[in-house]
Structure 1
């Protein structure tokens, strides 16, 4: 490749970095919102989020509230709603019988799988409509955004 066909990238000025960060944040939020609400016929977004946390491991309502950044009473209501739907089971803790441990049911695992499948299908259609160059840019952007998110 000759120097005249090689694209040179200079570091962005701080104001340009700030503007880019804002644009990326908004774009990520919009995509996240759209993907979440594409599957609300299966389960509400806040229920899905709690169920995904429980998929990692059983937890107490207090742990879930802390992870989800909501109040304990709000999480208690969410867990009660999930139990009513048959998606979680509440059992007493082994060390402290006053403690409640929340676990997923098999039906919840099916709903998580179906919801993810539906969300992935929604996103696949949109990415599939892009030209190959745009898809390649998104592939690289995905790697970079994953790096940003893990810092």
Structure 2
């Protein structure tokens, strides 16, 4: 297996992060922080969940989400309720308004990216970058190093 060296890995990481930062600059004008939009995104993908599970997925402490959760709740973008199976736990879910805001936010970033690709890449390059999408998805799914060979294997 041919591995990339650390300089190549650095270039790849920096390129991916540059595109991600540029996309964030084209977010909707909704007054939410990146953390708050991230919470909405996790809730959209996972459905109803607990605050503890949400914090674990985001790699933050539950206490770190308190301000964001309160603001999202006040704005009626999420709803919190007691878990009927365990009254000590709180369940969180996205409201229709939260889903609409998230879809609008994603649409603005998608429009920017589609326009950037159309204006900066030729047809061959557009095809090539789209071939990379499943590979990047696979790398993103490997958050704990499953692709790394195990010692002694």
**Deviation of 1:40 (Å):** 4.8
Could you tell me which runs of 5 or more consecutive residues in structure 2 were left unpaired when the two chains were aligned.
Answer: 143-153
Residue 53 (1) aligns with residue 42 (2): yes
TM-superposition CA deviations, 1:58-92 (whole Å, max 9, x none): 11111111111112111122111110111011101
**Deviation of 1:98 (Å):** 2.4
TM-score when scaled to structure 1? 0.83
What is the total number of aligned residue pairs between the two structures? 139
Match of 1:6 in 2: none
TM-superposition CA deviations, 1:104-126 (whole Å, max 9, x none): 11100101111111110010110
Match of 2:145 in 1: none
TM-score when scaled to structure 2? 0.82
Query: Does structure 1 conserve the Cα–Cα contact (< 8 Å) formed by 2:77 and 2:94?
Result: yes
Match of 2:22 in 1: 34
Q: Distance in 2 between matches of 1:113 and 1:141?
A: 24
Runs of 4+ residues over 3 Å off in structure 1: none
Could you tell me which runs of 5 or more consecutive residues in structure 1 were left unpaired when the two chains were aligned.
Answer: 1-10
Query: Does structure 1 conserve the Cα–Cα contact (< 8 Å) formed by 2:28 and 2:108?
Result: no
Match of residue 9, structure 2, among 3, 11, 21: 21
**Deviation of 1:28 (Å):** 0.8
